[in-house]
Amino acid sequence: MMVNVQNARLTIGRDIADHCIHPYIFGHFIEDIDDHMPAMLAYPLTNMDFEEEDHNLDGVSGPWYPLNFGKHTQYALEPPARFHSGHSQKIRIFNKDRCASGIGQRMQVDGSIPYAVRMYVRATRELNAVHLKLVDRANGDMLGELELEVNSHSWKEVTGRITASRSCAAAELQVWAVPLPPAAWADSTSTGVIWFDHISLLPEGQTGLLKREVFEMAKALNGGILRLGGNYISLYHWEEFVGPVYLRPNYVNEAWEQAGQVHKYFGTDEFVDLCRQLAAEPQICVNMGTGTAEEAARWVEYCNGDASTPMGALRASHGHPEPYRVKYWEVGNEMYGPWQAGVCSAETYAQQFLTFAAAMKAKDPSIVLLGCGTARDSLVPGWNRIVLETAGHAMDFITLHIYQGQNFFPIDAATPGSDRFKAIAAFSETARYLFEEIESIIQGREDLRHLKIAVTEWNTMYFPNPDMPNNHTLEAAVANACMLNEMIRQSHLVQIANFSDLVNGWVGGCIRVGDHYERMKKPGWSGKNDVIFGTATYHLLRLYANRNLHRVVQTRTQSGTFHAGPCKLPMECDSLPNVDTVACISETGDLLTVFVVNRTLEPTELVCDLGAWKPKEEVLLHTLTGEHYERYNTVFEPSLITAEAQRVRIDGSVWTYELRPHSVYVLEVPLQQSS
């Protein structure tokens, strides 16, 4: 079969931009949504505080279930009371059964590390111990056990350590209440009652509360900045989620249907700690939806005030005497959207922003404030202009959330794949149109020219998201490479960007834990739910963020063109270049990095002219490619698509290479230094 090979020429010029590329454009984003927190955090159990209702009508909370050998044992959820904020799980054992009873939960266990066990428990005198067992559900093998003494009718923290003899993806934690011998009971009708308010296992050696592999993969992304935000933040009251975790209340995650509880084990202190361990700047989005300016100001003081301030003293009492010095604060999340708690008009948002800004700056004048812009002007026509003209002078950044796909092109599951690919690959042009629209507003007024853009959420988005795994395909990675190229090209204006999401989550986290990317299937369907891997976009983001970039270098690209199809934005889409490129120089001037994306479904012969520079003969070529644009990594093939590197030689000052279809290349060219 004859293959149609396209031709392209890339010329690297000598002109260098006078602005620097900000490392925060490679940032990331976490949100308490769907399975993001459970997938990210190291806790192997869910519903550790019995927050969930008795869905199975067996007297036991959520994913827990009863274990007992007696027909009279009674299970019930008790309502909140002093010293515990949500349900407690009650088990009542009758002496006439003369047997133990308990609760269990399915989990996966790692046999290479011990687990720290923590329980909040109280019991009547007939029950004096709790026996924990780790069991292989498939064959009943005992993997590990621990007995803990229970000797108080008042709530008490009980701790221990348990280790599994081997790893097991289909294990079960059994928690048995151990009664005294029958003879020690007063009579045959006596009962023993035990209450659990919290049961957790946490692997020792975890970092930032994250699963070990997740932390290592997140660290390798070199993101620079990490955002805490999303829809849930409009219903999030930060003061409920600081201090001792067992005193934090249980909150339903109101932002998302069937999302369960807000994960109270990951509040402000834990978020900042994770950022520090990832060497990332913390970026916090404050609650404008159901919160107040005073609440946001207290949050600033909690993070940045010294111990002599009320909130700084509160932070110090929680074991953190030194201020966190959180610099970047985003005021409200997507306040233009009808899906957002507290949705408002542009005029209302602008006035509220000014109120929030004054209160927050009064606590710390050095903070940087991000105001809420929109990439979907059709939702609220004129939003960006109204917000900027009213409140832009008090902002440092205007934010955009850009999800390339159905938001901007009329594509769906019925769209032919090649047509959909062209629309998704036009990410550069979509972003450029949106950036230039904002720039035209801020350049039109002297009091706005200080503003920069923060793309605080971005990714591809397919169809009625997210029932299909398209966001993890090579196609998505190619489109996301175009977005990164555009943000580098526009780095005079774009200085912060947060890829959405970091782990699992709504639109398709770049790090995947288990098999939940197949949303139409029940998690665990593969039998490999313990596999943690990176998507094609994970490898792309890691590739870009770990390069030595300082300033943009002028380039000129000549190639064939394609038509991206009808667009919902008033932009030209009929002659887009097949090859998307950008080049950068290192701070020391000795390394040229060239990014090349072949966003066609055909091979392309590229001639790269480096004659304006003095390249060394041997260069390093990184490649991200695959056999088909719809291929993606899975628990069965976690490394199907990864970035590979090879040493290649160039002929004088010209590099000639055949680009594979739907592929991304990064060429690192060492330069000879002038004598």
Over the stretch 391-405, which tens digit does the pLDDT of each residue have?
999 999 999 999 999
Inter-residue contact 455 to 399 (CB < 8 Å): yes
Confidence of residue 464 (pLDDT cuts 50, 70, 90): low
* Cα 63 to Cα 54, 59, 76, 116, 120, distances in angstroms: 9, 12, 14, 21, 18
Mean pLDDT calculated for residue range 436-442: 97
Write the CA distances from 489 to 13, 68, 165, 429, 664, integer angstroms: 14, 64, 53, 12, 17
Token output for 214:
């997740």
Cα–Cα distance, 420 to 73 (Å, whole number)? 58
Residue type, 350: A
pLDDT at 245: 86
Q: Which residues are CB-neighbours of 231 under 8 A, at least 6 positions away? A: 31, 33, 255, 256, 333, 334, 339, 340, 341
Q: How confident is the model at residue 72 (pLDDT cuts 50, 70, 90)?
A: confident
Q: Which amino acid is at 118?
A: R
Cα separation, 419 vs 415, in Å, equals: 7
Long-range contacts from 257-265, C-beta under 8 angstroms, 24+ separation: 259/32, 259/33, 259/34, 259/232, 260/47, 260/51, 260/52, 261/47, 261/51, 261/52, 262/32, 262/232, 262/236, 263/32, 263/37, 263/38, 263/41, 264/49, 264/240, 265/41, 265/43, 265/48, 265/209
pLDDT for position 522: 83
Average pLDDT in the 231-245 region? 94
Q: What whole-number distance in Å separates Cα of residue 309 and Cα of residue 275?
A: 24
Distance separating alpha carbons of residues 101 and 119, to the nearest angstrom: 17
- pLDDT bracket for residue 83 (50, 70, 90): low
Please report which confidence band the pLDDT of residue 674 belongs to, taking 50, 70 and 90 as the band edges. Answer: low
674/559: higher pLDDT: 559
Report the candidate in 8, 30, 50, 410 with the shortest Cα–Cα distance to residue 198.
50
Is pLDDT of 675 > 60? no
Which residues are CB-neighbours of 390 under 8 A, at least 6 positions away? Answer: 346, 347, 350, 351, 354
Query: Which of 33-47, 265-279, 637-651 shows the lowest per-residue confidence on average (mean pLDDT)?
Result: 33-47
pLDDT tens per residue, range 440-452: 999 999 999 999 9
In b/e form, how buried is each residue of 391-404, taking b as 16+ CB within 10 angstroms?
bbebbbbbbbbbbb
Task: Kindly indicate the confidence band of residue 253, based on its pLDDT and cuts at 50, 70 and 90.
Answer: confident
pLDDT of residue 467: 56
Q: For residue 416, give the nearest of 562, 565, 518 by alpha carbon.
A: 565
DSSP class of 258: T
CA distances from 32 to 35, 36, 376 (A): 8, 6, 24
Please say if the pLDDT value at position 326 is more than 80.
yes
Closest CA to 43 of 205, 203, 246: 203
Across 342-366, average pLDDT: 98
pLDDT at residue 189 greater than cutoff 70 = no
Whole-number average pLDDT of the chain = 93
DSSP state of 214: H
Task: Take residue 274 and report the two structure tokens written for it.
Answer: 């994770």
| pLDDT for residue 466 is more than 70 | no
User: Per DSSP, which regions of 127-270 are E strands?
Assistant: 127-136, 142-149, 156-162, 168-179, 191-203, 225-228
Between residues 256 and 526, the one the model is more confident about: 526
CB within 8 Å of 142: residues ≥ 6 apart: 133, 134, 135
**What 3-state class would DSSP assign to 239?**
helix
Whole-number pLDDT of residue 100: 85
CA distance 392 to 324: 27
* Contact by Cβ (8 Å): 581, 594: yes
The pLDDT confidence band at residue 3, using thresholds 50, 70 and 90, is: low
Determine the pLDDT at residue 191: 78
CA distance 149 to 131: 9
For range 368-385, the mean pLDDT: 96
The pLDDT-based confidence of 258 (bands split at 50, 70, 90) is: low
The answer, yes or no, to whether residue 56 has pLDDT greater than 70, is yes
Residue 98 or 581, more confident: 581
User: Rounded to an integer, what distance in angstroms lies between the CA atom of residue 487 and that of residue 484?
Assistant: 5
Query: How many other C-beta atoms are found inside a 10 Å radius of the C-beta of residue 45?
Result: 17
What's the confidence (pLDDT) of residue 255?
Answer: 83
Lowest mean pLDDT among 81-85, 209-213, 383-387, 425-429: 81-85
> What six digits make up the tokens of 368?
């940087």
Residue pair 111/167 in contact by the 8 Å Cβ criterion: yes
Contact residues for 252 (Cβ-Cβ < 8 A; gap 6+): 260, 261, 262
Is-contact 20 551, C-beta < 8 A?
Answer: yes
- Identify whether the C-beta of residue 425 lies closer than 8 Å to the C-beta of residue 564: yes
- Concatenated DSSP letters of 4-49: --EEEEEEEEEEE-SSPPPGGGGEEEE-S-TTHHHHHBS---S-TT
Say which amino acid occupies 166: R
C-alpha torsion sign, points 519, 523, 527, 533: positive
Of the candidates 299, 272, 205, 246, the one whose C-alpha atom is nearest the C-alpha of residue 88 is 246
| DSSP element (H, E) containing 345 | none
Polymer length of the chain: 675
Please report the sign of the dihedral spanned by the C-alpha atoms of residue 375, residue 32, residue 61, residue 250.
negative
Please state, in angstroms and as integers, the Cα–Cα distance from residue 636 to each residue in 56, 124, 515, 525, following that order. 33, 49, 9, 12
C-alpha to C-alpha distances, 569 to 184, 231, 437, 497, nearest whole angstrom = 78, 25, 11, 22
**Number of other CB atoms surrounding residue 382 within 10 Å:** 11
Q: Are 121 and 200 in contact (CB under 8 A)?
A: no
Kindly tell me the burial class for residue 167, based on how many C-beta atoms sit within 10 Å of its own C-beta (0-12, 13-18, 19 or more): middle
Beta strands in 383-503 (DSSP E): 397-405, 452-461, 494-499
Residue-wise DSSP of 103-128: EEEEEEE-TTS-EEEEEEEEE-TTEE
- Percent pLDDT > 70 in the chain is 96
- Please report which helix (H) or strand (E) contains residue 66, including its range: strand 65-68
pLDDT at 217: 98
